[in-house]
Amino acid sequence: MKIKENLSLIKSRIPESVVLVAVSKTKSNKLIMEAYNSGHRVFGENKVQEMVLKWETLPKDIEWHMIGHVQRNKVKYMAPFVSLIHGVDSLKLLIEINKQAKKNDRTINCLLQVNIAKEETKQGFNVIELDLVFKKLQSLENIQIKGLMGMATFTNDNSLIESEFKLLKSKFDLLKLNNKKFDVLSMGMSGDYKSAIIIGSTMIRVGSKIFGERN
């Protein structure tokens, strides 16, 4: 696998302002170190235990992003080091993240996951709930909501994907009006990051186009 080449190809295709999260879930430390040695520092995992193991063994200047669904009882394990939690999908989870952040004497950056897809299986707040959630958030002092995250429907229908990304982008723009710290819109994966960036993504999560297909 030509990890270094894959990374530089993707980086050459995206604006410098867009953050590339290299999704390393299921991939070995050896492969992650190949990306690291080519200069990459931002990695995404979808399982807390796997991310903790990698954090313990790999260089400490790696920025670890949790991109998967998070169970509340696992938050404590990543609270000391996680740099951004993308998949926040309930107030109860936010309250737990706030509690664990306080214990670690830090602020944890979070994105609210929005359910923009037609599929039943996708996690996240629905677009209408978001405003309410936002109001309730003000009392949580050890979390910082940096923006939104969403996943499009898994389909070949580009017009559907684009309409879902546009919905997320418009919600992001609205919330941003009242939130100066709101500057991350996490959307786009290996198959759809180009459309996502055209529509306004500021952060893409790319796995298989860097590390190869997962088993």
Ligand X SMILES: *Cc1c(COP(=O)(O)O)cnc(C)c1O
Shortest gap between Cβ of 86 and ligand X (angstroms)? 7
**Span near ligand X by CB under 6 A; candidates 74-82, 96-104, 152-160, 204-212:** 204-212
CA separation, residue 140 to residues 80, 108, 181, 213 (Å): 18, 11, 15, 39
What 3-state DSSP class applies to 213? coil
Out of 7, 18, 43, 46, the residue judged to bind ligand X by CB under 6 A: 46
* Residue (68 or 147) nearer to ligand X, CB: 68
For ligand X, give the closer residue by CB, 122 or 140: 122
Does 124 interact with ligand X (rule: CB under 6 A)? no
Q: Which tokens sit at 133?
A: 């959630």
One of 67, 108, 137, 203 touching ligand X (CB under 6 A) = 67
> Of residues 13-32, which lie at the interface with ligand X (CB under 6 A)?
23, 25
- Point out the residue whose Cβ comes nearest to ligand X: 207
111 binds ligand X (CB under 6 A): no
Q: Which stretch binds ligand X (CB under 6 A): 76-84, 96-104, 115-123, 183-191?
A: 183-191
**Residue 123 CB partners (closer than 8 Å, separation 6+):** 69, 87, 89, 113, 115
Tell whether residue 207 is a contact of ligand X (CB under 6 A): yes
SS3 83: coil
Relative to beta strand 184-186, strand 108-114 is unpaired
Amino acid at 97: I
Q: Do 104 and 83 contact (CB within 8 A), yes or no?
A: no
Identify residues 137-166 at the interface with ligand X (CB under 6 A). Answer: 151
Question: Three-class SS of residue 75?
Answer: helix
Q: State yes or no: residue 97 binds ligand X (CB under 6 A).
A: no
- Residue number with CB closer to ligand X (146 or 209): 209
Is 208 one of the binding residues for ligand X (CB under 6 A)?
Answer: yes
| Number of other residues whose CB lies within 10 A of the CB of residue 97 | 25
Provide the token pair at 55: 């954090």
Write out the residues near ligand X by the rule CB under 6 A. 23, 25, 46, 67-68, 151, 189-191, 205-209
